[in-house]
Chain A
Amino acid sequence: MPWTPNIVGFACQWCTYAGADLAGNLRCKYPPTIKLIKVPCSGTVEPEFILEALRRGADGVLVGGCHFGDCHYKEGNYKTSRRMMLLKKLIEDEGFDSRRFRLEWISGAEGMKFAEVVTEFTDQLTELGPNPVKEAVKA
């Protein structure tokens, strides 16, 4: 069986998770590479979770939140934005390809967008190949 990337997705329950739901209702086609974890708000996704996922061999991590101004908790996604900016830089500093990590704002009405993002991300990760950390952890 050919290798396919394994994506861990953190989806805010108010927007991106609803968006994924809508993608299903609309019968959108996207590759079965993403495993979604529903979280109360993208602001609850700690940078530690993302590093842990990458460390344990996830080939990519997607964090999805509400568009600015739409956050159910008013400013959770603004915090997410700041944290993920810093995290991306940290991942690069550590000599890791930050393209394995992606932050997207997907609303509950954007089922199509969710499917497009997952498809695009999967293609990108397929090009990048398996997560190099996975091999190092095994050894």
Chain B
Amino acid sequence: MADKVKVGILLAGGCAGCEMALVDLSERLVDALDALEIVFWAPTAADVKYKDLEAMPDDFIDVGFVDGMVRNSENKHTVEVLRKKSKVLIGYGACAGLGGIAAMGDLHTQEELFNTAYKDSWSTDNPDGVMPTPEYTLEGKYDLTIPSFTDRVYTVDELVDVDYFVGGCPPHHEHVMKAIELLLSGQLPAKGSWLTGGKAVCDVCKRNPAETGETRRPVGKVYRMIDGQPDPDKCLLQQGYICFGPITQGDCGSACLSANVPCRGCGGPLPGVKDYGARCLQTIASALADDASTEELMAKYPQLAKFVYRYSYTTGKIDRKTPAA
């Protein structure tokens, strides 16, 4: 048998949801294992340590997957090591390519984040106000270190070369199978592309007014999900439930829409969209009827930046609030 394709999977600053999505492939992943050999999957699934990765020769891994953003010095180091050891590196999931949920933290200062995490939340019991310190000497003789926080969230491609991206939070099975099939077939697009079908969520959504033969109307009233129950068959945007389907890649098969939940853009931007949040504004503003409904939108979503950049703040244009550490 020919050599198996060596695969390495690294969880950087993510939540392990992407890894769960891989495991969710279940039988299909087991079948793929005939052709794949997993040489590294840490810190989640395989019993391989970072030092084993560091000991591998350069370009030893055929395809490296990184999921999660870079949030601390450990993420930064392991991502750089994996890049050296991999022939092809894939940014896997919304965090790796766009910054993901954690990137919304960049709308706050580091002090605000730490205070919320270690002092102010109601479930925190920290009377001495102990904060994480990257370096600590225990009992005067043991030098202990933990990874230090980076000045802001980085996407993987800001630090190292990334060959391809896969969207989704987490990537839907179809995203994953599409990527694996493309990899095995060798028919890969240009470097730096997203491995996707290239269609918008609206394109695959059954509620699309173009599918149902309805005429599109301007949206006069804006609703949030807590305001009521949307009609399960009609376009959510038309009903006033703000949906990011028009500019998001639809490899998910409009999964959220099928559950009567509006798209929030985890699939990644359509090709040609550089600043996801700004394009969101443009699309939504065009759908709204007048200035009054725009005012209403702003009143209902007081944190507009967090709303439109839920998964993509790092790729936004002016994300420099946090002063460099």
Contact = CB atoms under 8 A, between A and B. Distances in A.
Interface of A: 46-48, 50-52, 54-55, 78-79, 81-83, 85-87, 89-91, 93-96, 132-133, 136-137, 139
Given A46-B279, A52-B317, A85-B298, 16 more contacts: A46-B282, A47-B279, A48-B275, A48-B282, A48-B317, A52-B275, A82-B286, A83-B281, A83-B282, A86-B285, A89-B304, A90-B281, A94-B319, A94-B321, A96-B318, A139-B324
B26 to A, nearest CB: 40
**Chain B: interface secondary structure?**
helix
Contacts of A132: 320
B284 interface: yes
B213 to A, nearest CB: 25
A82 B274 contact: no
18 contacts: A48-B274, A48-B275, A48-B279, A50-B278, A52-B275, A82-B288, A83-B281, A83-B282, A86-B294, A87-B278, A87-B281, A89-B298, A90-B281, A90-B304, A94-B107, A95-B107, A95-B321, A132-B320
A78 B288 CA distance: 10
Nearest to A96: B318
**Chain A: interface secondary structure?**
helix
Contact of A93 (B279, B291, B294, B306): B306
Contacts of A48: 274-275, 278-279, 282, 317
B305 A93 contact: yes
8 interchain residue pairs of minimum CB distance: A93-B305, A51-B317, A95-B321, A47-B278, A82-B285, A83-B285, A136-B320, A55-B317
Given A48-B317, A85-B298, A93 B107 contact: yes
Residue of B318, B321, B324 most packed against chain A (CB within 10 A): B318
A79 B285 CA distance: 7
B318 A94 contact: yes
A130 B248 CA distance: 35
Residue of A47, A50, A83, A94 most packed against chain B (CB within 10 A): A94
Contacts of B275: 47-48, 51-52
A139 B324 CA distance: 9
Contacts of A52: 274-275, 317
Nearest to B283: A83
A133 B304 contact: no
B304 A47 contact: no
Contacts of B281: 47, 83, 86-87, 90
Contact of B295 (A85, A87, A94): A85
B316 interface: yes
Nearest to A80: B285
Nearest to A49: B278
Contacts of A83: 281-282, 285-286
Nearest to A81: B291
Contacts of B282: 46-48, 83
Contact of A90 (B286, B288, B308, B324): B308
B303 interface: yes
B193 to A, nearest CB: 20
B286 A79 contact: yes
Given A47-B278, A47-B281, A82 B321 contact: no
Nearest to A136: B320
A136 B324 contact: yes
Contacts of A137: 320
A95 B108 CA distance: 9
A95 B104 CA distance: 13
A54 B294 contact: no
B211 interface: no
Interface in B266-325: 274-275, 277-279, 281-282, 284-286, 288, 290-291, 294-295, 297-298, 303-306, 308, 316-321, 324
A82 B297 CA distance: 11
Contacts of B306: 93
Given A51-B275, A136-B320, A136-B324, A93 B285 contact: no
A91 B318 contact: yes
A51 B303 CA distance: 18
Contact of A86 (B297, B317, B318): B297
Contacts of A46: 278-279, 282
A76 to B, nearest CB: 11
